[in-house]
Structure formats: structure tokens, C-alpha cells
């Protein structure tokens, strides 16, 4: 397992590419948009510069990491020599299935096909391929170069050999892999999203304000970030999509998204990515202020 292809050069894709390249793997970073690829390389370089300034890596490691990454706009060219292909495209089942259908025909017969999905069924994605035993989930956490967890998701037909290979590889890139089975939300989001949803409901029902809810969880429960700020960081549209997967998958009303979350996403207040969510990010992340008086 020497050649890694990463599909999608957004926040997660460039972070995954950075992590593998820094650990000595040859990485093909693939995106149909050449401008997105240029932005991804600039982001990786900026993050490496920050690591050099902090003394966590040397200038030589930075240079070698960047040298380990090659960009492609062609899926066929980008995956033809890959041993492992990690899809990190938009969290949309239709898009992901189309990518995996193409990969089934384009990738080398031995290549493992992984998806970075945070909630979409691995079994459902694997079903569109001719190699479901070689399909697995690798759910990295954001920011990928820093966060240690990789949630490894075993689909219904994923082979044990593939699970073992991905668990071992995750350790080699400095991560702590945790193996889970393929059910809605897996483990991370099955636990996290109801907490975030309950925090939004608490705000919606006027129990406490944004800062108060986040302060309780940070100081009372030692969370590094409050649930509402975390929702902004993840993206409120992503939170809504995951809650819908949980609600549809289990049919349990406890996963029903809070009406306030639905309203905010409809209005385009998606959190950090749009500049406004529960907090206003006009002055930057560090100086974010509560966006509005949500209390009734």
C-alpha cells in the first residue's frame, strides 16, 4: 500500500492528502476543478508552514510532503496506480454512488475503495460496485492532520482482510482507528448529532442562550468547543443532513431535526462556511460573536 488517491480537494480531502503525504505515501489528489486543486495545495502549504513555525516538523518534511502530492483533474488518470482510493466528495449519496460506480471500472482490481462519509451507508455505496468486499468507510475528523481518530466502518460485505489492512494503515499515519459496523450515523455522529440537536432545541425552547449553552458544556463537561459552536464548525447543512439520515434510518422521533436548525439552513446561515450561524464570523473565528438574540 504505497499509492493513495484522494477524490475531492475540499477541507477533508486536502487534509487527508496532507496526512498521507506527510507520512511518506505518494498521493494523487483528484478534483474536476483545477482552481480547487490550487487552493488545496495552498492550504496544505499554509498548514505545513504553521507546523514548521511551531517546531512540530522540519522544513525538509514540509518540502517532501508537498513533493509527495500530485494533482489530477482526470479520475481515470488519478486512480490508475492506486492501492487505496479515498473518496472525500460532497456528502451526497447520488454523487458518491456515481463516483464508486466509476471507480469499480477504473481502479486496479486489488485497490481498496474507501469513503470518508460521515453517515451514508457503506453497504449502500458498495452495492453499486463489482467489489463490495473491497469497500470500506474511513471517517476522518476535521482538521484531519491534527485529529487522531479514524472511524473505520465495516460494510455488510467488507472483508476482514480489508478491515485489518485499513486499521493497520491508520496506525501507520499516526491515527487511532476505531472499528464500527455500518448503521445510520455509525458511532461518532449517532452520539454527537443528537447532542447538538438537543442543544439547538434548548435554544429554540428558550431555556438558555447560545453562549450559556456552550459555556455549560465547555466548563461543565470539559468539551473543547460548545455544541452550537461545533455545529457551526461542522456546517449546519451537514448537521441537518446527518440528522435526516438518522431519522430516516431508525424512524425514531428523537432524531427529528429541530425546526430552528431547518429554518437556519433554509435561510443560508450554515455556520463558519457562510460566515454566520449561531455565531457571526465576520471578525474571524477567534473573535466570533453570538449572531442574534435567539431567545423568545
The residues annotated as belonging to the active site are: 118, 139, 151, 189
Closest CA to 176 of 211, 149, 158: 149
Residue 164, number of CB atoms within 10 A of its CB: 11
Helix H, strand E, coil C: the string for 195-264 is: HHHHHHHHHHCCCCCHHHHHHHHHHHHCCCCCHHHHHHHHCHHHHHHHHHHHHHHHCCHHHCCCHHHHHH
CA 134/CA 228 separation, integer angstroms: 37
Helix (H) or strand (E) holding 106: helix 93-106
Q: What are phi and psi of 197, to 5 degrees?
A: -60, -40
CA 2/CA 53 separation, integer angstroms: 29
Strands 289-290 and 279-280: antiparallel
Which grid cell sits at 101?
A: 460506480
Under 8 Å between Cβ of 89 and 124? no
Amino acid at each position: 500500500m504505497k499509492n493513495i488517491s484522494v477524490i475531492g480537494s475540499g477541507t477533508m480531502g486536502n487534509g487527508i492528502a496532507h496526512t498521507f503525504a506527510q507520512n511518506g505515501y505518494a498521493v494523487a489528489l483528484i478534483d474536476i476543478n483545477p482552481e480547487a486543486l490550487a487552493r488545496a495545495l495552498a492550504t496544505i502549504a499554509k498548514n505545513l508552514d504553521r507546523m514548521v513555525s511551531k517546531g512540530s516538523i522540519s522544513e525538509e518534511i514540509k518540502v517532501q510532503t508537498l513533493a509527495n502530492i500530485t494533482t489530477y483533474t482526470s479520475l481515470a488518470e488519478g486512480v490508475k496506480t492506486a492501492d487505496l482510493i479515498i473518496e472525500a466528495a460532497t456528502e451526497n449519496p447520488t454523487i458518491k454512488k456515481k463516483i464508486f460506480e466509476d471507480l469499480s471500472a477504473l481502479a486496479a482490481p486489488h485497490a481498496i475503495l474507501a469513503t470518508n462519509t460521515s453517515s451514508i451507508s457503506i453497504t449502500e455505496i458498495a452495492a453499486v460496485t463489482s467489489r463490495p468486499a473491497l469497500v470500506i468507510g474511513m471517517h476522518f475528523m476535521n482538521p484531519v492532520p491534527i485529529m487522531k481518530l479514524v472511524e473505520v466502518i465495516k460494510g455488510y460485505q467488507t472483508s476482514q482482510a480489508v478491515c485489518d489492512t485499513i486499521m493497520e494503515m491508520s496506525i501507520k499515519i499516526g491515527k487511532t482507528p476505531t472499528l464500527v459496523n455500518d448503521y445510520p450515523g455509525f458511532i461518532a455522529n449517532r452520539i454527537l448529532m443528537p447532542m447538538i440537536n438537543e442543544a439547538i432545541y434548548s435554544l429554540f425552547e428558550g431555556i438558555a442562550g447560545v453562549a450559556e449553552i456552550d459555556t455549560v458544556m465547555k466548563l461543565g463537561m470539559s468539551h473543547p468547543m460548545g455544541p452550537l459552536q461545533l455545529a457551526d464548525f461542522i456546517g449546519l447543512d451537514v448537521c441537518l443532513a446527518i440528522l435526516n439520515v438518522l431519522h430516516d434510518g431508525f424512524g425514531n422521533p428523537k432524531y427529528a431535526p429541530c425546526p430552528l436548525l431547518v429554518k437556519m439552513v433554509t435561510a443560508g446561515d450554515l455556520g463558519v462556511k457562510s460566515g454566520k450561524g449561531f455565531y457571526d464570523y465576520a471578525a474571524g473565528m477567534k473573535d466570533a460573536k453570538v449572531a442574534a438574540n435567539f431567545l423568545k
